[in-house]
Amino acid sequence: MDQTLPFKYVLSDEESRSLETVDVYVSDVKPNETEPIIKFIKKYCPREEILDHVKRIKKTSYDKGFTLTVLICSVESITFTELIALIKNHNLDLILKPRIQQVCKYPAITRTQFDEWRKLWPINFYEDPTRKLKFTLKEIENVEQYMEKAIKLSIQAKLKGEIPIGCIMIDPKNNVILSESFDTRNSTKNPLRHAILNCINNVASSEKSNCLEKSNKVEIIQNQKVDNVVINFNSESFSYQQKDDNNNENKITYLCKGFDIFITHEPCIMCSMALVHSRIGRVFYGHSNTVSGGLGSCYKIHAHNSLNHHFKVFKELLQHKIDALSIDC
Amino acid sequence: METIHHKYMREALNLAQEAYDNCEIPVGCVFVLDDKIIGSGRNRTNETCNGTRHAEFEAIDQILSSGEYTSEVFQRCILYVTVEPCVMCSYALRQLRIKHVYYGCANERFGGAGSVFNIHQDPQLVLHPAYQCEGGYYRDDSIMLLRKFYIRENEKAPVPKRKHKRVLKTEIAPMKE
């Protein structure tokens, strides 16, 4: 039974696609004749990688027993006449009578696809363990609290005459807030000062100062036992950097690798790609952006095959609250 | 044939070389308004620990923070950049309503102006007008700079790849249409 979550997973095209089929030759066979037929198919029929996800034999059970149907090869790889000639050459024409059948074209990625597509013809299914989208109750509570904070930031933005989009970045390993920011396009008169870019810039400057500090006084830091909190103020927003000296060696950060972002509105294409460049871990957003959204609406940049970093995206988190504020961007 | 575009692209290449000399991904750019360079930039992602500090962003921030121009200036600007703008920069340029973009070589991994996506022309993005983007100016030089960069090792990566066995290739395939 699937967990009911207060947000939705934004599927990639591969995960959300519906059934597409490809034509193949199949033939009913008797159980005691399958062995020579399978040997023949393996040795003489075209073998195609595109059919790796499809099972070679289908078993259909009925009251008194079962029938077996074998898959020979795809219609694309050989003409019907050629196939008949091939079968005749190997003296199998009495037991192998090809007909055309449809099988699913692509491997199933989600269980929903698998359950739907296997009805047509049996298929293999490997459930990627990293795709598991289970959250503990504590995690769900945290996630909602972070989005509440992002909403507060969007209200702050609105009060300051900015476009009301708020966002926060956290490290899910220790629940430390790394940066809180909002859109500052109006006050800066810079059309690119979106909430996410501001957030990434904050995290980068603390990472940078962290780096410098580290190279300057590695020795001293190691001897300190007290947690110290550095707050960087700049005109737009602020960022916290908490240093836990007890696990100093775990503090090696690379851009925003492994961090979570909570943002009231779906990031635009520019910000979505900025998150790829920053190696973000996960993104949670509330309201979809149908005119320029890059994580589900116009593009699915988080799951695009040719890009070098992929991440999970969840939408509609506390969307009713964001919509109730009638924040229109 | 030498054109005005080659002149500005050479400026962009000089900046890309500067990036290379500072261990950054060698991409450089200049923004030109009425035949005058009003801003320039080169990649600074390593120096700033910030994966979004591409040449275009460096130049845009330089122009806007100079106090001489408002963001409307980009509507009259031409951008010369040694490598096709990435997806992020392509949409940034669209938001700025850039007039025209000329680039050196295509960016097959991240390119947003023809290679991976067509952000510059996509008709569904109705908020900002489409713009023209043309490649091929000093393409070979732009490619060679990138190749020279990528056979070096990136010490900032979490697990730097060992590349001592790699050899710098010099043959360049013709441009794709």
CATH architecture of A137-208+254-327: 3-Layer(aba) Sandwich (3.40)
Domain A20-130, second-level architecture: 2-Layer Sandwich (3.30)
pLDDT at residue number B156: 65
pLDDT at B155: 64
Least confident of A16-20, A98-102, A230-234: A230-234
**Alpha-carbon distance A230 to A246, whole Å?**
16
CB crowding A269-297: b at 16 or more within 10 Å, else e: bbbbbbbbbbbbbbbbbbbebeebbbbbb
The model's confidence at residue A226, banded by pLDDT at 50, 70 and 90, is very low
Q: Angle CA(A320)–CA(A326)–CA(A327) in degrees, nearest 5? A: 105
Task: State both tokens at B26.
Answer: 């060698």
A63 or B61, which is more confident? B61
Interface test with B, best of A277, A291, A307 (most B CBs within 10 A): A277
| Domain ranges, ordered by start, for chain A | 20-130, 137-208+254-327
In this complex, do B88 and A270 lie within 8 Å of one another by their Cβ atoms? yes
Contact assignment for A257 to B116 by CB distance below 8 Å: no
Tens of pLDDT along A231-249?
444 444 444 444 444 444 4
Residue A229 clears pLDDT 50, i.e. is over it: no
Instruction: Print the domain residue range for B33.
Output: 4-151
Give the β-pairing of A282-287 and A57-62: unpaired
Confidence of residue A215 (pLDDT cuts 50, 70, 90): confident
Interface residues from chain B to A (CB-CB < 8 Å): 45, 48-53, 57, 60-61, 64, 70-71, 86-92, 95-96, 109-110, 112, 116-117, 119, 122, 124-127, 156-158
Contacts of range A51-55, beta carbons closer than 8 Å, 24 or more positions apart: A51/A22, A51/A24, A51/A103, A52/A107, A52/A124, A53/A104, A53/A106, A53/A107, A53/A108, A53/A123, A53/A124, A54/A24, A54/A103, A54/A104, A54/A121, A54/A122, A54/A123, A54/A124, A55/A121, A55/A122, A55/A123, A55/A124
Dist. CA A34–CA A32, nearest whole Å:
6
Q: How far apart are CA B82 and CA B8, in angstroms?
A: 10
Cross-strand bridge partners of residue B100: B78, B132
Whole-number Å distance between alpha carbons of A110 and A132: 10
Name which of B43, B47, B49, B53 to mutate to probe chain A: the one with the most chain A Cβ atoms within 10 A of its Cβ: B49
Please answer yes or no on whether A190 and B71 come within 8 Å at the CB atom. Answer: yes
| A303's tokens | 């799951």
CB contact under 8 A, A292 and B127: yes
Rounded CA gap, B97 and B11, in Å?
A: 23
pLDDT at A2 over 70: no
Q: What are phi and psi of B150, to 5 degrees?
A: -75, -10
Strand A21-29 relative to strand A65-74: parallel, antiparallel, unpaired?
antiparallel
Give the span between the Cα atoms of B157 and A246, in whole angstroms: 24
Q: Give the tens place of pLDDT for each residue, A158-207.
A: 999 999 999 999 999 999 999 999 999 999 999 999 999 999 999 999 88
Cα dist. A90→A11, A27, A86, A99 in Å? 47, 16, 7, 18
Radius of gyration over every alpha carbon of chain A, rounded to an integer in angstroms: 28
Q: Looking at beta carbons, which pairs linking B2-6 to residues 24 or more positions away fall under 8 Å?
A: B4/B35, B5/B80, B5/B102, B5/B137, B6/B137, B6/B138
pTM of the model: 0.83
CATH (domain of B95) = 3.40.140.10
* Average pLDDT, rounded, for chain B: 93
- Tokens 């871990």 belong to which residue? A281
In this structure, which amino acid lies at residue B86?
C
| Contact residues, chain B, for A200 at CB < 8 Å | 50-52
Residue B31: inside a domain: yes
Residues of B labelled as active-site residues: 56
d(CA A231, CA A229): 6
Tokens of A292: 């320029």
**What is the spatial distance between Cα A162 and Cα A156, in angstroms, rounded to a whole number?**
9
The verdict on residue B48 lying in a domain is yes
For chain B, what is the domain count? 1
In a domain, B168, yes or no: no
Residue pair A254/B157 in contact (Cβ under 8 Å)? The answer is: yes
